[in-house]
Amino acid sequence: MADGNIKLKLFDGEGLTLAVLVFIAAILFGLPLFLLLKTGLSGDAGWSLTPVFEAFQSRSVLRALWNSLESSFLSALLALFIGALLALIVGLTDVRWKAVTVFLILLPMMIPPHVTAIAWIQALGPSSPVLRWLGLAPELGSTHPIYSREGLVFMLAVQHSPLVFLVVRAGLRGLPRDLFDAARVSGAGALMLGHRILLPLLLPSLVAGFALAFVSALGNFGITALIGIPARYTTLPVLIWRRLASFGPDVLGDVAVLAVIVAIVAIFAVTMQILWQNRTRLGLVGQSGRPLEIALGRWRPAVEFLLGAGLRLRSSCRCPP
C-alpha cells in the first residue's frame, strides 16, 4: 500500500513537473558541463586530473587565477556594500519615488558589461566634459585612471551590485515587523536593532548576494577584457579568449582545462555559500506583515539628494555619445 502511494505521488502533477524541470536543467546545464569535463579531464588513460595539474605549472595560468580570485573577491565585497546599502535605504526608509529608484538601481543589469566599460572609459577620460569643467580631467597621453586593478574592481562592483540589491531587498521583505516593534518597546536602540536583530536575520541574504556577485565577476569577460588588457591584469576569461585566438593544435584541450578551473572555483564558492547559509539561517514563525519603514524626518531630503545624485552619475556614465 505504501509503495502504491509513493508511485502515485511520483506521477501526480507536482512530481511530473519536478521531473520535467530536472530533465530540462540536466540538458541545458548538466550536459554541457559534462562534455566540458570530458574534454578537459580526458588523458591518454581516460579520465585524469593530470591536465589540470599541468595547467597549474604555467605562470600565466597561476597569475590569471590569482587575478580572477582577487578581482572577484574585492568587487564582491564592494558590490555587497553598495547593494546592501541601497537595499536598506529603499527597503527600510520612507524615501519617495521608490519605483524610479529601483529602476535606476537595476539599470546595469539591462546593459551589456562591455557597453558599461566603454561608457565609463569615456566618462573618466581626457575628453570628459564634466571632468574638464571641474578641472579633474587627466592630461592627454597620460594613463587612463580606470585602466588599473582598482578600476576593474570598481567596474565589476557597479555591474553586479544590483544582484546584491535584489537578494537583500527580498530578505528585508520577509522580516517580521512585529519583531522590531517588540524590540523598540523593550527599549532597544537603533544600534541594538541593527546588531542583534537585523544583521542576524539578513546574514543569509548577505552571504547569497556576495556569492552571486563573486561568481558573476569570476565569469565576466566584457569588463575584464576592455579594462584588464590595457592594465595588463589578465583574468581567466581573458586568458581563455587569448588561447582561443591562438588557433594552436591543442587549443581546444587547453581552453577546456581553463574552463574546468573556472567551473571548479565557481562550484566551490556556491557550495561554501550553501553551507554558510545553512549555519546562519534562523527560523521565523508567523507572517512577515507590513514591511518595516523608518521615518527619516528632516534627513529625508538629504538622503534622497545623495541617492539621486549617485544614481544619476552612474546612469550618465552608461550613455556614451
Identity (one letter) of the amino acid at 201? L
Q: How many CA atoms lie within 13 A of 3 on its CB side?
A: 0
Grid cell, residue 210, equals: 556576495
Q: Give the span between the Cα atoms of 158 and 162, in whole angstroms.
A: 8
The predicted pLDDT at position 59 comes to: 87
Asked if pLDDT for residue 123 goes beyond 90, the answer is: no
The residues spanned by each domain of the chain are: 1-40, 54-316
What are the C-alpha distances in Å from 81 to residues 71, 87, 168, 247?
15, 10, 11, 41
The predicted pLDDT at position 106 comes to: 84
All residues at 6 or more sequence positions from 69 whose CB lies less than 8 Å from its CB, including other chains: 218, 265
Asked if pLDDT for residue 42 goes beyond 80, the answer is: no
Asked if pLDDT for residue 1 goes beyond 50, the answer is: no
Q: Which comes out higher in pLDDT, residue 16 or 214?
A: 214
Q: Give the span between the Cα atoms of 226 and 245, in whole angstroms.
A: 16
All residues at 6 or more sequence positions from 120 whose CB lies less than 8 Å from its CB, including other chains: 146, 155, 158, 317
Asked if pLDDT for residue 119 goes beyond 90, the answer is: no
What are the C-alpha distances in Å from 36 to residues 39, 60, 243, 255?
5, 21, 16, 10
Q: Give the span between the Cα atoms of 82 and 160, in whole angstroms.
A: 10
The predicted pLDDT at position 129 comes to: 66
The rounded percent of the chain whose pLDDT value lies above 70 is: 65
Asked if pLDDT for residue 290 goes beyond 60, the answer is: no
pTM value is 0.77
Give pLDDT tens digits for 197-241.
777 778 888 888 999 999 999 988 888 888 888 888 889 888 888
Rounded average pLDDT over 35-44: 68
Grid cell, residue 213, equals: 556577485
Rounded average pLDDT over 6-28: 71
Q: Give the span between the Cα atoms of 89 and 239, in whole angstroms.
A: 39
The predicted pLDDT at position 205 comes to: 86
Q: How confident is the model at residue 296 (pLDDT cuts 50, 70, 90)?
A: low
The predicted pLDDT at position 63 comes to: 92
Name the superfamily (CATH) of residues 54-316: MetI-like (1.10.3720.10)
Residues linked to residue 93 through DSSP beta bridges, in sequence order: 294
Residues linked to residue 43 through DSSP beta bridges, in sequence order: 46
Is 294 exposed, middle or buried (CB count within 10 Å of its CB: 0-12, 13-18, 19+)?
A: middle
How many CB atoms sit inside 10 A of residue 160's CB?
30
The rounded percent of the chain whose pLDDT value lies above 90 is: 11
Q: Give the span between the Cα atoms of 205 and 217, in whole angstroms.
A: 18
Which is nearest to 78 in space by CA: 277, 214, 198? 214
Helix (H/G/I), strand (E/B), else coil: 117: helix
Asked if pLDDT for residue 158 goes beyond 80, the answer is: yes
Highest mean pLDDT among 45-49, 72-76, 116-120, 219-223: 72-76
What is the rounded end-to-end Cα distance, in angstroms, of the chain?
A: 71
Asked if pLDDT for residue 136 goes beyond 50, the answer is: yes
The predicted pLDDT at position 281 comes to: 64
Give pLDDT tens digits for 297-321.
666 676 666 666 666 555 555 544 4
The predicted pLDDT at position 43 comes to: 61
Q: Which comes out higher in pLDDT, residue 187 or 87?
A: 87
The predicted pLDDT at position 153 comes to: 93
Give pLDDT tens digits for 56-77.
788 888 899 999 999 999 999 9
Cα-based angle 100, 106, 107 (whole degrees, multiple of 5): 85
- Whether residue 264 contacts residue 40, with contact meaning beta carbons closer than 8 Å, is answered with no
